Amino acid sequence: MATWLITGCSTGLGRALAEAVLAQGHNAVVTARNATTVQDIAAAFPDTALALPLDVTDRAQISSTVQQARTRFGGIDVLVNNAGYGYRAAVEEADDADIRRLFDTNVFGAVDMIKAVLPDMRAKRAGSILNISSIGARISPAGSGYYSATKAALEGLSGSLHKELQPLGISVTVVEPGAFRTDFAGRSLTQSATALADYAETAGKRRKENDTIHGNQPGDPAKAAEAILAIVESANPPSLMVLGKDAYDAFAAVAQAERTELDQWRDLSLSTDIEG
């Protein structure tokens, strides 16, 4: 039995994962900014679930959550940084305050969670950290530049963290889901107040009023939860895992396009070295 701490459990993937973890007999600290939204999960598993309020931009709440997890279950074996939200705007359209809130939640909130659990994981020389990213980090759609940037930042940090922690027995996995049938494109999606006409045919097509994917996403959150459980239980967890056929195909297409462009400009790239 392991103890999981999962952020952002009120809906979607976080809720599905919490329910799957508990159904498998593990302990789970189930968190949301409003803890009443996850009380039903704790009520269904009174001996193994602990529902707590957690805003990942609040360091005092992070510290309290980790301490309560220690008191109740003895420590945290698995951290899942799932809390986050989407934001759509052309780069020029975005409000500075919106951008900072987005990074505070999607990047720095995850960083503060990681730093809060690592001392105990290092002491045990064991643990798993899963950072929920997005295929957006790979494909960078017009209108999702800032959201994609938060996930790309999280992935860059995770890559270094993986190299730092692997010798200590702690695994780090980036999870890149495609479109899953959650509330991400509904309640959890925000956008700029400003919409400039020049971007109507690029970023404008991704604004909420023009969105057609909500409720029609191909991914099943329950199956994603089972995949994440399999990752943690693996003897050799991957450093990066894509979830969903749409994500897999998009990742493969981007990788191929990048390789083609790399080879196309090879001679100019190599021309910049000092000749010996």
Q: Which residues are catalytic?
A: 133, 147, 151
Residues contacting 27, CB < 8 A, separation 6+: 1, 2, 3, 4, 48, 49, 50, 72, 73
User: What whole-number distance in Å separates Cα of residue 137 and Cα of residue 66?
Assistant: 29
φ/ψ bin of 90: left (φ > 0), alpha (ψ from -120 to 50), beta (otherwise): beta
User: What whole-number distance in Å separates Cα of residue 259 and Cα of residue 222?
Assistant: 34
45 φ/ψ angles, rounded to the nearest 5 degrees: -135, 65
- Please report, for the chain, how many H helices and E strands are present, in that order: 10, 9
Tokens of 204: 């404008």
